[in-house]
Amino acid sequence: MKRVIFLVDMDAFFTSCELTRHPEILNNPAVVAGDPKKRSGIILTANYEARKFGIKTTMLLNKALKLCPHLIIIAPDRNFYKQKSKEVIDILSSYTPLIEQNSIDEAWLDMTGCEKIFGNPEKSAELIGTCLKNELGLSCSIGISENKFLSKMASEMKKPSGITELWKKDIRIKLWPQSINYMYGVGKHTAEKLKNIRITNIGELALSNRDILIKKLGKMGSELHALANGIDDSPVRPHSRDDIKSIGKSITLSKDTFDMEYVKIVLMKLCDAVGMTARKYNKSGHIVQLSIKYYNFHVITRRTTIPSTCLVKDIYSASIKLLKNNWSSDTPIRLLGISLSGFSEENSFAKQISMFELPKIKHYTEIPSKYEKIEDVISSIRNKYGFSIINRAVLMNKSSKNKS
């Protein structure tokens, strides 16, 4: 199966975070920068309005003010940005648990096989971008390819709020004409060395003599030559398997609602997605968390502990109890979210047992329940034919009623 890797890069992250609490900077040039009196007068992030004046990251604040005297300056709030970064990763985790955070404002996602759930890569990227914008008020640019290097390069090609596909078959046209300074992994010092041997763009690097590159740059020469040719087999690595701390899914409703029956249907859809994802990655958790955002944007989160599971029926049952205990139905709901966490260290659920293995079983509890067998079948069918090919009866019944 062809790999599908996303690089999600948040646009002008620090200033975008500040926009969520300083609406006055909307459509005005603004930067996040330190205080010159404390010798920290460096631009950390400039919004796109400020960049029109030639203001760039790492520029001295005094120089930026000469370029744009009416520039809005906001002192950095690193704890706020860390919290927003965590919220971004939490949302990305609802699309795939295979996430490698590259920095505070960008991450690689292994989306291989996810088209069966979210649609083709471009559609998946649109869903992610829309979700981040609706839930956090933050925009992103997304690069799509079959490896990490090309997806990173793609993410820089169309900003802000861009979605760019850069497959290996496209590199001669889209990548090779780019300046060597543009290439991810090539710093200023390395770029100068390459220019000294008459390599000024990525295509020239790709077509150059590999042995000469190794002689000039050592091992890095070989690595850069491979990247310029679109070769990168490095996997998307969470820092460790234990870094997959939770699997969640949330949705903003089409309109605020008081309708308990409708909310139950939405919860079933969310639990179905969470449970199937947990099963896909062999994860079982004992903490179910419900998130509710009300019509006035007030958010509550409530959690409960249950026996370790990945079964949709167990996650749904716990979420319904949380809902009934914490939602006053006279307050309309805008958003719902469900997550499963508290994963055990060992593999979470038993492998399907053959009938020929039954004599080896010592305890009745080791035999897969009928619910596990049912979800194994559902998962198998969806993996082969797509997520929408089979659905839960309660969802189909509701859909039929809505049409009638």
Give the active site residues.
106
272 is in an annotated binding site: no
Pairing of strands 5-10, 246-257: unpaired
Is 211 within any annotated ligand binding site? no
275 vs 264: CA distance, rounded Å: 16
| For the chain, the helix, strand and coil percentages under 3-state DSSP, each to the nearest 5 | 45, 20, 35
H or E stretch at 290:
strand 285-294
Question: What gap in Å lies between CA 68 and CA 30, rounded to an integer?
Answer: 10
What is the Cα gyration radius of the chain? 25
CA distances, 195 to each of 37, 104, 182, 216, 219 (Å): 39, 32, 13, 12, 18
Tokens of 149: 């290097």
Q: Measure Cα distances from 385 to 73, 122, 376, 391 in Å.
A: 53, 20, 14, 12
Check if the beta carbon of residue 71 is closer than 8 Å to that of residue 65. Answer: yes
Closest CA to 343 of 78, 93, 6: 93
Whole-number Å distance between alpha carbons of 213 and 239: 31
- Looking at residue 92, the DSSP 8-state letter turns out to be H
**Which residue matches tokens 């496209």?**
170
Distance of CA 299 to the CA centre of its chain: 21
DSSP 39-80: T--BEEEE-HHHHTTT--TT-BHHHHHHH-TT-EEE---HHH
Pick from 140, 101, 94, 142: nearest CA to 118: 94
Quote the Cα angle for 44-49-51, to 5°: 55
The DSSP letter of residue 245 is -
Contact 221, 209 (CB under 8 A): no
**Three-state secondary-structure class, residue 300:** strand
Beta bridge partners of residue 302, listed in sequence order: 290
CA 317 to chain centre: 27
Binding residues: 9, 105
Binding residues for Mg(2+): 9, 105
